Structure 1
Amino acid sequence: MKELIEEYGQGYEMIRKSIEGLTEEGVRFKPAPDKWSIHQILIHIADSELVSTQRIKKVLAEEEPILFSVDQDAWANGLDYNQLDREQYLQLFKILRSSMLPILRSLLPEKGERVGVYPDAGKFTVKQLLEYRVKHVQGHLSQIEQVRKAYQKNQA
């Protein structure tokens, strides 16, 4: 669990590194009409972190709480991610992760086994929720790299 928490703690730096050197045009480039730009991906990562931080806290504090999923495309479209301040959202992500680190680092092993329940997906432990947070960022880092490559190819 310690390694997992440390990787979780590196999420912000990993995201920042993934967007180094990009122009505004590159950040706003959409590889296809139905695909997200890097800008939209970054806003989504922060929104997802906001919801997930609340879920993890809920599981740590309450007995088998009910957890709810969100429709990420509805959020991206309904909140018009294109007009949101990317830097604010990156800072939000950073603050959320850094605010959770002391909580996670001080967890007793049995707290990692506490569960929350998704009506549509069943029970998840704190450890599983944390693993998903790490995988979520990793998946989007790969997506950012793919969009970067598509942008570079488009510029050639």
Structure 2
Amino acid sequence: MTITPDTKNWTWVLQRPCPECGFAAGAIAREEVPTLLRANAEAWRRYFAAAGDQDVRTRPEPTKWSPLEYACHVRDCNKVYLRRVWLMLAEDDPQFPNWDQDTTAVEDEYNDQDPDKVFAELVDTAEEVAERFASLTAEQWSRTGHRGDGSDFTVESLARYFVHDPIHHLWDVTGTRYEA
């Protein structure tokens, strides 16, 4: 059974805490983003170390991704947002290329990928994007960009919006709410 695509505009997480995972993206300082990304990657590492290969491929229900599928998504989000930050720094007010996460999950056969490779790539890409955010100058945080759906971002709001994603998906997998 396929997963019903998520069509929500999650930008509301910048205004209020997520009632599901408990993370308040709008309340964090931009300088916290690299630390949060690294801590999240470490939490994924602990999860994968404790789980067996079949456990990570098992969907808890037919309409919900498996832990491996979520990990693939987090890895790919890291890549997409690293590219978006690069665009915002390299171009004036770019519009981001559309990314259909649900199509990517199907086309890239997320649940058939090697869990060890996925985890290593998740950690590597989290470090890459954490380093990128850590290296920004004060002026770069205010650079702008836009999604095709009309959502506008600065690098700062994009960082806060983005960091919610891996935190939320760890909650999807573990059920553990975010604690500051």
> Shorter-chain TM-score: what band?
0.7 to 0.9
Structure 2: give runs of 5+ residues left out of the alignment: 1-29, 176-180
Aligned-partner residue type, residue 35 of structure 1: K
Specify which of 112, 117, 133 is matched with residue 104 of structure 1: 133
Moved more, 87-96 or 124-133: 87-96
- When residues 15 and 110 of structure 1 are mapped into structure 2, their CA distance, relative to the original with a 3 A threshold, is same
Once the two structures are overlaid, the 10-residue window that deviates more, 60-69 or 100-109, is 100-109
Residue 126 of structure 1, CA deviation? 0.7
CA RMSD of aligned residues (A): 1.8
Choose the corresponding residue for 2:145, options 110, 116, 124: 116
The aligned residue for residue 172 of structure 2 is 143
1:91-114 deviations in Å (ceiling 9; x for gaps): 222222323344322322121111
1:30 and 2:56 matched: no
- Provide the rounded CA distance (Å) in 2 between the counterparts of 1:23 and 1:40: 15
The answer for the alignment partner of 1:150 in structure 2 is: none
Counterpart of 2:73?
44
Shift of 1:27: 1.0
Q: In the alignment, residue 84 of structure 1 is paired with which amino acid?
A: Q
Task: Flag the structure with higher helix content.
Answer: 1
Contact 2:98 2:148 in 1 (8 A): no
Q: Cα offset for 1:45? A: 0.9
> 1: distance between equivalents of 2:129 and 2:80?
13
Using the TM superposition, give the Cα deviation of residue 64 of structure 1 relative to its aligned residue in structure 2, in angstroms. Answer: 0.7
**TM-score if structure 1 supplies the norm length?**
0.83
Distance 1:106 1:89 in 2: 26
Change (3 A) 1:133 1:14: farther
Q: For residues 68-107 of structure 1, what are the structure 2 equivalents within 5 Å?
A: 68-107=97-136
Shift in CA distance, 68/104, structure 1 to aligned 2, threshold 3 Å: same
Q: Secondary structure at the match of 1:69?
A: coil
- TM-score, normalising length: structure 2: 0.73
CA deviation map 1:8-47 (0-9, x unaligned): 2323112112334111221111122221111111111111
Larger Rg: 1
CA shift, 1:68, in A, is 2.7
Q: SS at the partner of 1:124?
A: strand
C-alpha contact 1:11 1:134 (8 A) present in aligned 2? no
Identical counterparts, % of pairs: 27
Where in structure 1 are there 5+ consecutive unaligned residues?
Answer: 147-156
How big is the shift at 1:79? 1.6
Q: C-alpha deviations, 1:41-65, integer Å up to 9, x for none?
A: 1111111211111111111221111
Q: Is the 8 A contact 1:8 1:133 kept in 2?
A: no
